[in-house]
Amino acid sequence: MKKTLSVLLILLTATLTGICQKYEAETATLAGGASKQASSAASGGYYVAQNAGNLTFNLTFTEEATYNIYIQVASPNGFKANNLVVDGSAITFTTELNKNYIKLKAVSFLKLAAGAHIVQITNSWGWISIDYIEFEKVDPATRFNTNTTLISPNPTDEAVRLYQFLYDHYNKKIISGVSNVEEADWLKTNAGKSPALVGLDYLFCNRGYTTWYDENQPFNQGKAWFDKNGIVNFHWHWRDPSRVTEAFYTADTKFDITKIFDETSAEYKAMISDIDYISGQLKRFQDAKIPVIWRPLHEAAGGWFWWGAKGAAPCKKLWQIMFDRMVNVNGLHNLIWVWTREHNDDAWYPGDEYVDMVGRDIYRDGDHSSQILEFNDMVNRYSGKKMVTISECGSFPDVDNLLKDAAGWSWMMVWNGGFVRDAKYNSPDLWKKFLASDYVITLDEMPNISTYSTTGLINDQKDDLKIFPTYFDEQITIHSKESNQTISIFNQLGICMSTFKSENSTSIISTSGYPAGMYLVKADENAAVKVFKR
């Protein structure tokens, strides 16, 4: 009898978790040309032809619960993009050509309180056929499975400590940020506090602007900010690598990113040269023991930058080559790599092994909602493994909405100029309220990242073996977790070039006489670390 009751309880729990509530599209309020149409293929015998119109559902739920939201939809007129809006918070969903209905998951893990809610499907492109919407109850405890390792092999201690800080506060607090130091100082004067994170740019570097630009500025500003316990974030408005123009917008340069597949091309060599130069700039931070949040090739799928002008494949390849070049060739291990998502860009994503975090750039003037639908979509899209951020924004979320909706963004960065200072985007009172909130981390509340405690994050090499530099001339320094380890160096053919016992945790090894190429270094049974001799 006891066993029977246990089985019944398990079945009841599973049933409650998967409960679905379906609302036929024809029961919605239709406007703007949306029309009810009869069809034997549709649930209930009817569907709504959206045309250029909108649908509004006025729904009431008897209890608080967390839901996935599905749309039963056909797209007989080809690819379309439209909006799902829940209580004023919107997300764009897309449909490919499909004449038969499909069930599209539009929203994941959305918490809705008991009571009335307004759900809308609004026109962006329009011209889809909507059969019904469906709400499926889900267990919110299954939402997150956040990575506890950085993708770079042998990350620096400072990078691990910064990632630990981000990990510890994810979905608990939001880290405040703006896109340059000047705006951070302005907020200190006008809103009483400085944000914790600043965004810096390599926009003017390596272009020969020496008569009016100091190439030391990015490092000097970043170091000064880190010395205040701030977080340093870099993006890169990468100008035409060929130097034919000074542009980064697709409309202003014909630079061909597809040449990334041709290692003999001038374009490939120009891209590699720029990557190596910026690697040298970032290496200054590593040498100074400063971790950097690194967000290159942003907004790629939007197509407005040259790195997104030719589709997903060359951009993805460029990201992967940049990672390999910066990490494995140029020896950068202080970076936390952030991919900036755009709508409909799954094919562009470099892969989990190349991305630590995922950002979303959101510009919706005057919209201070939590962007909960965007948050939930990104958490679901990356299987809860990647922390997600508002990597850029104009108007930022009201902190009350973040708390109400449990929108657990890691950090947010408001773009500079009017987006920070103009009340059209963000009022002074909203800034003061945001920066004063206990939920928001500001500069004065930041710990010293250099000494921040790590509590269980395990990295790829488990910190057992670190080698600097990974791109070397005549010697390398090997840091092993313990002394008296057997350290071996193998060439690409698997031939052991050298084996020795480490007398202490740090060993300096001469590689004089080794030919140029790739080598693998192992300590006892630890994973091998890849290094390169020039």
Residues 497, 430 share a domain: no
Q: Is 342 marked active-site?
A: no
* CATH code of the domain containing 192: 3.20.20.80
Exposure letters 374-407 (e unless 16+ CB within 10 A, then b): bbbbbbebbebebbbbbbbbbbbbbbebbeebbb
CB atoms within 10 A of CB 492: 9
Let me know if residue 151 belongs to a domain.
Answer: no
Give the pLDDT band (50/70/90) at residue 504: low
| End residue of a domain, out of 403, 420, 451 | 451
Exposure letters 48-60 (e unless 16+ CB within 10 A, then b): bbbbebbbebebe
Residues 175, 26 share a domain: no
Residues 174, 39 share a domain: no
Q: Is the pLDDT of residue 361 over 50?
A: yes
Distance CA 330, CA 283 (A): 8
What pLDDT digit, counting tens, does each position of 82-120 carry? 999 999 988 999 999 999 999 999 998 898 999 999 999
| End residue of a domain, out of 451, 479, 496 | 451
Catalytic residue of the set 134, 136, 299, 374: 299
Give me the residue label for tokens 């200190």. Answer: 188
> The dihedral of CA 337, 343, 348, 352: what is its sign?
positive
Residues 163, 121 share a domain: no
Exposure letters 159-171 (e unless 16+ CB within 10 A, then b): bbbbbbbbbebbb
* pLDDT value at residue 490: 85
Single-letter amino acid, residue 252 = D
Single-letter amino acid, residue 268 = Y
Residues 275, 171 share a domain: yes
Let me know if residue 459 belongs to a domain.
Answer: no
Q: How many CA atoms lie within 13 A of 406 on its CB side?
A: 11
* pLDDT value at residue 529: 74
Let me know if residue 338 belongs to a domain.
Answer: yes
Q: What is the mean pLDDT of the chain?
A: 90
* CATH code of the domain containing 20: 2.60.120.260
Residues 490, 375 share a domain: no
Q: Is the pLDDT of residue 473 over 70?
A: no
DSSP H or E run through 85: strand 80-86
Domain that holds residue 58: 2-142
Structure tokens, 431: 């800034």
Residues 282, 428 share a domain: yes
Counting the structural domains of the chain, the total is: 3
Let me know if residue 404 belongs to a domain.
Answer: yes
CB 70, CB 106: distance < 8 Å: yes
Q: Is 263 marked active-site?
A: no
Let me know if residue 445 belongs to a domain.
Answer: yes
Mean pLDDT across 193-198 = 98
Helix, strand or coil, per DSSP, at residue 446: coil
What pLDDT digit, counting tens, does each position of 199-210 carry? 999 999 999 999
Distance of CA 294 to the CA centre of its chain: 10
What pLDDT digit, counting tens, does each position of 416-465 carry? 999 999 999 999 999 999 999 999 999 999 999 999 988 655 454 444 56
Catalytic residue of the set 26, 134, 136, 392: 392
Residues 268, 173 share a domain: yes
* CATH code of the domain containing 498: 2.60.40.2550
Residues 254, 373 share a domain: yes
Let me know if residue 411 belongs to a domain.
Answer: yes
> The dihedral of CA 189, 191, 192, 194: what is its sign?
negative
Let me know if residue 352 belongs to a domain.
Answer: no
| pTM (2 d.p.) | 0.78
